[in-house]
A and B are shown apart, each in its own frame.
Chain A
Amino acid sequence: METAMSAEAQTRPAFIPALAYKDPRAALDWLERAFGFEVSGVFTDSKGAIVHAEMVHGDGVVMIGGEWEGWAMSPASTDGVNTQRVHVRIAQDIDGHCGRARAVGATIVMGPGDAFYGDRSYVALDLEGHRWTFSQAIKDVTVEEMEKASGFKFSKAAS
């Protein structure tokens, strides 16, 4: 693991969400148990406090940190308000994933349920109120079918 951060440098995704927690150490443990994320690297200071940490899920990476600046605050400090969210795609067994999260203490606020765009998904609150969406593609849906089912129109260049 000692080389994880430098070895990953070349293959890391172009976008990596960074999440603020009041207690990043508790978050690492909880996110592993409840959602199945794996710790890929942790920087600690001389007192053992976590300065920076990263977790992986499939080919996705998240950064886990504390409330290290006045503008970086956990939802636990904002009455549950989220300014950004994370959607995670699960390859299989979304209902099992949800069951595991619930058993560990996640609050399931929606689902699991099927959506018109072919996903089955659920939404869960983590230990500090970040809202996560987990979804699994369960059937292929064409753009025409999605437009018909939703009444929406897909385009690439709305302006």
Chain B
Amino acid sequence: MSLVAALIYKDNRAALEWLERVFGFERRMVLVDSDDAIVHAEMSHGDSFFMVGMEWTSWTKSPAALGGVNTQFMHARLQSDIDGHCARARAAGAQIIEEPSDQFYGDRRYRALDLDGHVWTFAQTVREVSTEDMEKASGLTLKTLPK
């Protein structure tokens, strides 16, 4: 994997537990120091993983310390049953900020806040849409930037 995101949390141990229980991610690797504090942790889902980090400098902050602002946020792709994923997350305590709905580009998606206010977009491809149909449905133009 050539690209891995690291999300900042106030309490990485609580984050691991919450993300496992509510979103169904798995612990891939946990690194602890001699006091059993977690210094580095990774969680996986499908073929991909992310890092669970802490507020270890003044420029790394959880959204919980920034009024809910996210400077980056995560887009997580599911293979199946996105509505079931949303229902389980809601039942486990996630705040759903956008209900599951079909998008013009062929995804079905929902958005949820995690324990610290990171915004997660969960998406599943539910149909193939041609560029022409996307443009027609959205009024947008899809292309690469002119060189």
Contact = CB atoms under 8 A, between A and B. Distances in A.
Given A9-B106, A13-B77, A71-B68, A81 B60 contact: yes
B72 A151 contact: no
A15 B59 contact: no
B61 to A, nearest CB: 5
A83 B142 contact: no
A75 B45 CA distance: 28
B77 A83 contact: no
B144 A17 contact: no
B134 to A, nearest CB: 8
Contacts of B131: 2-3, 5-6
B92 interface: no
B73 A18 contact: yes
A126 to B, nearest CB: 11
Contacts of B46: 14
Given A40-B144, A58-B2, A157-B30, A45 B68 contact: no
Interface string B115-147: 001110100010011110010001111111100
Interface in A133-159: 151-159
Contact of B72 (A5, A43, A88, A130): A130
A98 interface: no
A103 interface: no
Interface of B: 1-8, 13, 16-17, 27-34, 36, 38-41, 45-51, 53, 58-63, 66, 68-77, 105-106, 117-119, 121, 125, 128-131, 134, 138-145
Interface of A: 1-6, 9-10, 12-20, 25, 28-29, 39-46, 51, 57-63, 70-75, 78, 80-89, 130-131, 151-159
23 contacts: A13-B47, A14-B77, A15-B5, A17-B3, A17-B73, A42-B144, A51-B140, A70-B69, A71-B69, A74-B71, A82-B71, A83-B70, A83-B72, A84-B71, A85-B53, A86-B4, A87-B6, A131-B59, A152-B40, A155-B32, A156-B27, A156-B29, A158-B32
